Amino acid sequence: MSVRHFRSRMTRRRFLQVAAATAAVGPFVRPKGLYALDKVRMAVWSQRLAEETNVYVSEERGFFKDEGIEMAWVPGLGSGAALRNVIAGNADIGFVGPEAIYFAADKGEKIKAVYNIYPQNAFNVFALTKQNITRPAHLAGKKVGVISMESGTRYNLETLLAVTNIKRSDVEMVAVGLNPAPAIQSDQIHAMAMTDSLLHNLQAKGLGAVDVIWCKDYLNLPTDVFAMMEKDLRPKRDLWKRFLRAYRKGVEWTIKNPEEAVPYCVKVCIDTKDPKLILDHIKIRVLGSSQSDTTRQKGLGWFDLPVLKQGAEIYRKAGLVKNALDVEAIFTNEIVAEL
């Protein structure tokens, strides 16, 4: 037997031993060093923020690498911008709101949503108490800020108006970016559509007393989901399962270890470096929005399809979309069921 042939046999034998050992302990995790990492470009509505700490946990603790994944962050300004990056081929999977998917599907885009990132709605509309805006009806005739016209803040404001039968034309929407404080304090806008964590940031910086209208009290649509082009689902099924396993491990670890997760965020997030404020964000978003009664029963990432159907029908009746949307063809639990 030649030395070359002997080495070849031993290499194959060793590979089979490693594969058998990993198969015996549960879901397949690629043995380190045997494969090149598969790159997954994740389109997100923002730069790296404290509310997304669980993603940094998956990166820093090696959960993505353990699944053979190299995750690349593709930032945008708003949920619609993130989905647009997926549709354009600039990203493989999008961290987007369901409303952006409604709009894209209505225009004929074939989208598949596969994981419910935040089943609890995190959006709100707030105003300084001097404005006396305490319920949706008070928004009529007002200027209301949104982060961008492609953001979840705009989409959830649209949802709130539709649910409460307020005409879209009765509210002037103004894009003001991620720091609305100057526009609010100078009365350029009367109210602001925001998220729980971003409002907390503003309050920590001395915004002052506010009244808050929570969108979930009217329709508890998910804040964000993972979505991709439908054509990419089945050919890359194994890749998505590995990606979502790695993502979910980060959520699970952060829920169990919120204080220990803070340093991972400090290294990369751009909105704050204050450990106490980061911990607040983790508690507000990861612990507060990543779980629901449905996910506690079915597992993290599971879609509650009836509420998504309700949202799609509200959008159709309000004229936000023209067509009846087949929600079950767009949102699926099949991948999560296999994690």
- Check the CA dihedral 246-252-254-260 and report its sign: negative
What distance lies between CA 126 and its chain's CA centroid?
22
pLDDT in tens, the chain (339 residues): 443 333 333 444 444 444 444 444 444 455 555 568 999 999 999 999 999 999 999 999 999 999 999 999 999 989 999 999 999 999 999 999 999 999 999 999 999 999 999 999 999 999 999 999 999 999 999 999 999 999 999 999 999 999 999 999 999 999 999 889 999 999 999 999 999 999 999 999 999 999 999 999 999 999 999 999 999 999 999 999 999 999 999 999 999 999 999 999 999 999 999 999 999 999 999 999 999 999 999 999 999 999 999 999 999 999 999 999 999 999 999 999 999
The pair of structure tokens assigned to 227 is 């979505």
- With a CB cutoff of 8 Å and minimum separation 6, the contacts of 75 are 44, 46, 47, 48
Q: What 3-state class would DSSP assign to 178?
A: coil
CA distance 115 to 195: 20
Segments making up each domain of the chain, as ranges: 38-120+224-338, 123-217
Q: Which fold has domain 38-120+224-338?
A: D-Maltodextrin-Binding Protein; domain 2 (3.40.190)
The pair of structure tokens assigned to 171 is 């509210």
**Which of 202, 197, 200 shows the shortest CA–CA distance to 182?**
202
Global confidence as pTM: 0.87
Q: What is the pLDDT of residue 25?
A: 43
The pair phi, psi for residue 145, each rounded to 5°, is -80, 150
Label the pairing between strands 191-195 and 143-146: parallel
**CATH superfamily entry for domain 123-217:** Periplasmic binding protein-like II (3.40.190.10)
CA distances from 125 to 8, 183, 256 (A): 65, 15, 30
**Which of 123, 103, 115, 108 shows the shortest CA–CA distance to 221?**
123
Q: What is the pLDDT of residue 1?
A: 44
What distance lies between CA 334 and its chain's CA centroid?
19
Q: What is the pLDDT of residue 2?
A: 40
Domains 38-120+224-338 and 123-217 share a fold: yes
